[in-house]
Amino acid sequence: MIVFSFIPVGLIVESTSQMFGEPFQVVLSDVLFNFRIGQSFVATVALVIVALIWRYAVRNDNLLAWLQMIPTVGLFIAASWSSHAASLADTGFYLNTLHFLAAAFWAGTLLIVGFFSVKEHDGWESFFNWFTPFAIGVVLVMIGTGIGMMLLITPEYTNSWLMTYGQMQLLKHMLFVPLVLYGFAHGFLMKRRINNGLSDNKVRASMRMESVLLVAIFLVTAGMVEQEPPHEVAQTLYFEEKSELGMYWITDEFWGDDQIVWSSPFQPLYYLQPDCSCLHYSLSTSETARVCGQCQYTYSCSSFVYTLHS
């Protein structure tokens, strides 16, 4: 973790050192203590060391083991300190921290339950009883903080689609919608399906699918971190080129007063067809319904591809 955290710091130090002809060690010291990304790395190293020491010091005490959450939460705070939102305003730092923590708690629970939990069919109902309100809470936090950060980073939401950052943000939001649909199904439909004979493997597979969507969102977010955020698209385009995908699908000419909009108010719904049919398949209990779900999923994927190329 420390090695991967140092990579962006090292790249900045190397490029700055070559640009100004300063010694690597001098630039490294300046970046570590005067730049947010360097301060975040220093805090990450310190917190990882504390977490490792604490783990071996209290490994036989279950009560004190809970205190390991302190350096763990600290790692999220350290990562948020060097985020795009934090560089714009103090409010962005708080929003990013809450957003990051909510996503991690949600994803962590799903990954553990979906891939590492003991196979006990009778335990699913009690799990959903406490996880459903918990998931609703973190989703509301994620939506609220996400909108707040979006207003800071990309106030020109649709115009930002001309650039890689905006396209990845759109993809992230498109992945989040089926994720919420899965959460709704797990929270309000799953218990009835279990009582009607839904197998343990089906429940676990559905939880894993939701986990995979979360991991996909994390991967897209990781890509966004490496892109230039277009606070004002027209100004950003002076020193940042439009993405090839944006020029191909949207336009290769853009002026300051232009505004990008959907060509149809229902067009975004086309992209949800595969996800909805996949959800229908994973929650179906009868063989006939599952076969119909497979056919619907195949048709929806075909419609999705056709929509992209039409």
Same domain, 95 and 64: no
Single residue among 61, 82, 103 that ends a domain in this structure: 82
Q: What is the pLDDT of residue 280?
A: 55
Contacts of 93 (CB under 8 A, 6+ apart): 80, 81, 83, 85, 86
Other Cβ atoms less than 10 A from the Cβ of 53: the count is 11
Burial class (CB within 10 angstroms; exposed 0-12, middle 13-18, buried 19+) of 244? exposed
**How far is the C-alpha of 142 from the C-alpha of 102, rounded, in Å?**
6
Same domain, 19 and 166: no
Q: What is the DSSP string of 161-216?
A: GGSHHHHHHHHHHHHHHHHHHHHHHHHHTHHHHHHTT--HHHHHHHHHHHHHHHHH
Same domain, 247 and 289: no
Same domain, 78 and 58: yes
Single residue among 50, 82, 114 that ends a domain in this structure: 82
Same domain, 268 and 254: no
Other Cβ atoms less than 10 A from the Cβ of 34: the count is 9
Single residue among 245, 261, 277 that ends a domain in this structure: 261
- The range of the structural domain enclosing residue 50 comes to 1-82
Burial class (CB within 10 angstroms; exposed 0-12, middle 13-18, buried 19+) of 288? exposed
Q: b/e for 102-114, b at 16 or more Cβ within 10 A?
A: bbbbbbebbbebb
Question: Hey, is 160 helix, strand or coil?
Answer: helix
Same domain, 25 and 171: no
Same domain, 124 and 189: yes
Q: What is the pLDDT of residue 95?
A: 96
Same domain, 40 and 156: no
Same domain, 225 and 242: yes
The answer to whether residues 274 and 209 touch, using CB atoms and an 8 Å cutoff, is no
Same domain, 255 and 268: no
Count of domains for the chain: 3
Which position has the token pair 């629970």? Answer: 109
Q: What is the pLDDT of residue 90?
A: 93
Digitized pLDDT (tens) for each residue of the chain, 310 residues in all:
788 889 889 989 998 898 888 899 999 999 999 999 999 999 999 999 998 888 787 777 777 777 788 898 999 999 999 998 998 999 999 999 999 999 999 999 989 888 887 665 567 888 888 899 999 999 999 999 999 999 999 888 887 888 888 889 989 999 998 888 888 888 888 878 877 777 778 888 888 888 889 999 999 998 898 888 887 766 666 666 666 665 556 655 555 555 555 555 545 555 555 555 555 555 554 444 444 444 444 444 444 444 334 4
Same domain, 268 and 293: yes
The answer to whether residues 296 and 266 touch, using CB atoms and an 8 Å cutoff, is no
Same domain, 220 and 235: yes
